[in-house]
Amino acid sequence: MPFGGDMNHRTNLLPILMYHAIWSAADGALPETSSIEHAVEARDFRAQLDAIVNGGYHTIRLGDLERPANGPKPLLITFDDGHESDLLIAAPELARRTLHAVFFVIWSHLGRPGYLSRDQVLALRSQGFEIGSHGLTHTSLTRMSPAEASNEVLESKRRLEDLLQEPIAGLALPFGHYNDSVLHAAWAAGYRRVMTSDFKVANREHRIMPRMGPMAYHTLKDFNWMLEATPAAAIRHRKIEALGGRLRRFVNLGEALLMRAQNSAPTKN
């Protein structure tokens, strides 16, 4: 491959981070709306944002993807589900470092305990952050009929656009599940970009964009690796993560069975 072509290809590579809830140990318990693995502690989150700044990365907007790459080390930060911590913890920390993010919210969850309200979504937008759709009800789109999936992505987009009075360009797929029918529904609804949960490095020219999700158990070294990962290395890491996830579930099952056996054992007088 010619040198210039290789450079152009590398310029199009884009790491996309996928967060869920952020929680503060100082406040006590984990948010009930998030799984333990997906909730990143606030201290770790701050360290990760500092690593982004110190690494010379610049965060971009969805609209920037419509234009040629401009500047070194682009990065897209996203949040799924619309947890209340998006506004209470994440947004202030991002703003303090002049970092941008896109918040993908579940329309039917707005106003529920632990989730953003409609007014809080408007507050995020007024602070300069972008809002995207994470579906109408956060149901796996691949388990629906084509008509139901189309309604999920179209109606969530329509309602958010009515709330914000602006176009909604991005869709984050619930659970990361998709197939050709789901993608057809997304393009027909008018989305410009679709975010998956595939652990890969994205290409800014592609409309289907994989993301890498920092988890509660990731170290700062793990996080820095995500920022710098090559496409091939990300695929290998994904396989290792999947194996690690199975091992963690096996250990948790073993602990649960042991506890059950201990609780059911007859007591000695």
Nearest to 51 by CA among 214, 221, 237: 221
- Answer yes or no: are the C-beta atoms of 174 and 139 closer than 8 Å: yes
Rg (CA), the chain: 20
* pLDDT tens, position by position, 242-257: 545 545 544 444 444 4
* pLDDT tens, position by position, 44-101: 999 999 999 999 999 999 999 999 888 889 999 999 999 999 999 999 999 999 999 9
Nearest to 137 by CA among 170, 115, 169: 115
pTM (2 decimals)?
0.85
- Tokens, residue 24: 């503060």
Collapsing DSSP to helix, strand or coil, 32 comes out as: coil
Written as one letter, the residue type at 260 is R
